[in-house]
Structure 1
Amino acid sequence: MRHRFTTSVAAVVAASLLLAGCSGGDDEEPASASAPSEPTSSATSEPPEPMYWPLTGLERTGDAPRHPVIVTKVDNTSSSAPQVGLGSADMVVEELVEGGYTRLAAFYYSKVPADIGPVRSMRASDISIVPEGATVVTSGAAPITIKRINGAGIPWITEGAAGVYRDNSRSAPYNLFAKLHDISKRLKAKEEPPAYLPWGTEADLPKGGKASTLTADFGGHSTTWAFQKGGYVNTDSYAAQGDQFPADSVLVLRVKVGDAGYKDPAGYPVPETKFAGKGAAMLFHGGRLVRGTWTKDGLTGAIELSTKAGELTVPAGHVWVELVPAVNGNVTFAK
């Protein structure tokens, strides 16, 4: 805020006339008026605009990282236990894969762990999930998927690259890991990424209804959350003890699912999440549920959220996004 101070001008004019006796006398010159003082002002400089992390909406101090957003594909079955590195993620997106199971896309930008894994393969669904400019760490993909990922211009790193290794104490294919911190040092970002979600504050949220637990059901796998001590705990997580993702909110987006056009080695058709267009949204925050709608212009468009009253923003913090199929998927919650 600018403050301005001015000095008022006071003009004082004094005149006196002295009359001499009958002999007369000289008139005294009138006193000259004091010159008006120059107005003075002082102003404080405007504070710098705050900066925010694109994947959490939290305020940032200091420069942005030199590396891009790094998205790592992580297995999400019991065979992956214990998952390593989820506790350092800015955001996690859970997506459907074959057999009704899920895989995680863990996003890293503000903080990068030493190791992450087990690392698994990409899907065509990732084209609509991975933000522009990000690099994906993966165990690879089917040829048809690699062709589409390359066509979308998404860079990726896999086994054979420096920092991607096998942990021989685990069974394949659940033993591929990545030294993410070392990898990040070799990556250079062209520019800072835009906000992934429309960020706001808790005060911006509509009132909503109570919801202390929720379960996102994908068919072959379900993920359950409980609101505890101001955040959400994944009660059936495969993450290592003390390395669970610190969810401040859980955002459920109901999505259409199609056929990716091929089958996995076990013969299951590989699904493809169609994360474009619009669908129902459920934002769980602070033990409450706010219902709304999501829209996304094409596979690479920005995610927008709204309610009947207008724009819906997500309180800044760590968010787990559940991309639950609109058909053959389900979301339940309890007060």
Structure 2
Amino acid sequence: MRVARTIAVTLAVLAPVAACSSGGGAASPSKAPQAAPVSSSPTPEAKGHPFTGLPYEELKPVLAVKIENTAAGKPQLGLKSADIVYIEQVEAGLTRLMAVFSSKVPAKVGPVRSARISDLHITPQFGKPAFAYSGVQSKMLPFMAEASLFDVGDTRNPGAFFRQPGRFAPYNLFANTKQLLSKAPKATEAKDIGFTFGDAPADGGVPKKSWTVKWPAARFTFSWSEEKKQWLIAQDGKKDMAAEGGQLGAPTIVIQYTKTERSQFHDKNQSYTPLVHSVGKGTAIVLRDGKAYKAKWSRESEKEGTTFTTESGEPMNFTPGQVWVALASRKPVIP
């Protein structure tokens, strides 16, 4: 794993202490102290989690969940615990989220919504994660069957899902994460996906109090909080609150500009599903520490992660902690 900063660990080799008898003669073998054993295995270096850069004890399986992102489905539950949150465009210019969990997994998550074709191009970089969603249109079923993931959606794993009281369908479907993961015992553990964490670039950042990203029918604003050391999130002019309490926010926000075009899929209203091309190369804006940095992104294949670099080619480090990735298009897609 590529981590910008590691903590050097040194080994102290203990030298045996020679013992003497009180009379100056050789000590009795039975009373001679034993030399401290020297470990033949070096102590492992301190490492940061590949998704967050934070310390961890062991790498755990990856769970990705498709989450509703309109006013009708808010506040969402579980997003505060996600390692990574992707913002994706869907039909009619709206957005939907994919939350990726591994280092921390909340007990419950939702509202869980249906998957899109763009999800199947994002998930392979995680290996073969567990993927929870609430169905797909029939035309997409063959693609789902061939995708690099363990299907733990509501059709394959209905026992993990429940209807949350006080909400109305289809925005009341939630899931128990323990039951989701139990149906994917071979889900891939977290691994390097290209992110690097550490100090910000020495130059190039522009101080910013906020940054707004627009889709045809959605608008996100990320506002820097010096007190919380996070970019607090608002959508369509309203604070994005979490069901657990407090406003959603993250220390690093990535606006990744991608090619977005019509896919072969559409909804019942004949509004076409956008296909977000997350493989290739492009430009990005990385928000961290109250500054905006111009960056470049590259992902050579679906099985590989996405690397972010500065304009001069150096690693574009993120601040350790949760990362939001907004997959945006410079040119709005007409649904």
Contact preservation (8 Å) 2:208, 2:291? yes
Contact preservation (8 Å) 1:75, 1:120? yes
Q: State the match for 2:29 in structure 1.
A: none
Superposed CA deviations along residues 215-252 of structure 1, whole A, max 9, x for unmatched, are: 11011001111111211111331532615444011011
Give the percent of matched residue pairs that are identical in Structure 1 and Structure 2. Answer: 28
Let me know the Cα RMSD of the aligned residues: 2.6
Superposed CA deviations along residues 48-97 of structure 1, whole A, max 9, x for unmatched, are: 12233222121212x333xx211110110011022111111111000000
Contact preservation (8 Å) 2:204, 2:294? no
- For structure 2, list consecutive stretches of 5 or more residues without a partner in the other structure: 1-9, 16-36
Report the AA paired with residue 48 of structure 2. Answer: Y
Deviation at 1:203, TM superposition (A): 4.5
Deviation at 1:204, TM superposition (A): 4.8
Asked if 1:118 is matched to 2:121, the reply is: no
Q: State the match for 1:182 in structure 2.
A: 179
Report the AA paired with residue 185 of structure 2. Answer: K
Report the AA paired with residue 182 of structure 1. Answer: Q
Q: State the match for 1:82 in structure 2.
A: 75
Alpha-carbon distance between aligned partners in 1 of 2:247 and 2:106, rounded to the nearest angstrom:
13
Asked if 1:303 is matched to 2:306, the reply is: yes
Q: State the secondary structure of the residue aligned to 1:162.
A: helix
Asked if 1:214 is matched to 2:217, the reply is: no
Report the AA paired with residue 293 of structure 2. Answer: V
Q: State the match for 1:21 in structure 2.
A: none
Deviation at 1:198, TM superposition (A): 2.1
Q: State the match for 2:54 in structure 1.
A: 58
Deviation at 1:168, TM superposition (A): 4.7
Alpha-carbon distance change, 167 to 208 in structure 1, aligned in 2, over 3 angstroms: same
Q: Please point out which of 122, 129, 139 is paired with 1:134.
A: 129
Work out the number of aligned pairs and report it: 293
Q: State the secondary structure of the residue aligned to 1:202.
A: coil
- For structure 1, list consecutive stretches of 5 or more residues without a partner in the other structure: 7-41, 330-335
Deviation at 1:179, TM superposition (A): 1.0
Q: State the match for 2:31 in structure 1.
A: none
Q: Please point out which of 313, 324, 331 is paired with 1:327.
A: 331
Alpha-carbon distance between aligned partners in 2 of 1:197 and 1:136, rounded to the nearest angstrom:
21
Alpha-carbon distance change, 307 to 211 in structure 1, aligned in 2, over 3 angstroms: same
Deviation at 1:305, TM superposition (A): 1.3
Q: State the match for 1:254 in structure 2.
A: 257
Report the AA paired with residue 132 of structure 2. Answer: V
Superposed CA deviations along residues 108-138 of structure 1, whole A, max 9, x for unmatched, are: 1111112111110111101222222211110
Alpha-carbon distance between aligned partners in 2 of 1:108 and 1:50, rounded to the nearest angstrom:
21
Alpha-carbon distance between aligned partners in 1 of 2:261 and 2:177, rounded to the nearest angstrom:
32
Contact preservation (8 Å) 1:232, 1:250? yes
Q: State the secondary structure of the residue aligned to 2:52.
A: coil
Deviation at 1:47, TM superposition (A): 2.9
Asked if 1:232 is matched to 2:231, the reply is: yes
Alpha-carbon distance between aligned partners in 1 of 2:78 and 2:310, rounded to the nearest angstrom:
34
